[in-house]
């Protein structure tokens, strides 16, 4: 978990089929929420967003989906802005859908779910902000 080479790999070309795609679980339409402004930053830096939030039809100009199963593509990264108790079910979905990369945002930790994901071959970054890591890796 949180290996620098995994972080670099995730933020590069994320999958052969769909490079630079991020499913954002818990993306809010409220611009003051971290899920919104972090996702807007990633979008501005060339990532295609697939919001996962069943309570809104769209956000940041992208159609919102009810679940990972409803996505039209296999995203390169699943970025999570949900409470730790929701991470195990997300990992279950990722295993079932054979999704490669789980990013759990800063302040959110579920070590049991992380271990299960890694045992299933999923790369995991947890308790790190994807925007902060991207800024760190992006040459100025």
Quote the number of domains for the chain: 1
Say how many Å lie between the first and final Cα of the chain, rounded: 27
Q: Residue 139 has what pLDDT?
A: 66
Q: Per-residue pLDDT tens for 80-92?
A: 999 999 999 999 9
Q: What's this model's pTM, rounded to 2 decimal places? A: 0.92
Q: Per-residue pLDDT tens for 21-73?
A: 999 999 999 999 999 999 999 999 989 999 999 999 999 999 999 999 999 99
CATH of the domain at 22: 3.40.50.720
Q: Residue 111 has what pLDDT?
A: 96
In a 13 Å sphere around the CA of 101, the CA atoms on its Cβ side amount to: 30
Least confident segment among 62-71, 115-124, 128-137: 128-137
Residue span of the structural domain in which 132 resides: 4-137
């Amino acid at each position: 978990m949180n290996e620098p080479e995994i972080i670099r790999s995730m933020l590069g070309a994320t999958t052969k089929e769909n490079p630079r795609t991020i499913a954002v679980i818990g993306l809010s339409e409220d611009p003051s929420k971290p899920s919104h402004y972090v996702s807007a930053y990633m979008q501005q830096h060339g990532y295609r967003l697939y919001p996962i939030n069943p309570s809104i039809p769209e956000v940041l100009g992208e159609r919102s989906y009810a679940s990972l199963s409803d996505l039209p593509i296999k995203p390169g990264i699943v970025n999570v802005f949900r409470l730790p108790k929701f991470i195990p079910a997300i990992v279950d979905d990722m295993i079932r859908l054979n999704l490669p990369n789980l990013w759990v945002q800063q302040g959110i930790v579920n070590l049991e779910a992380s271990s299960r994901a890694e045992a299933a071959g999923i790369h995991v970054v947890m308790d790190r902000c994807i925007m902060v890591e991207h800024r760190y890796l992006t040459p100025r």
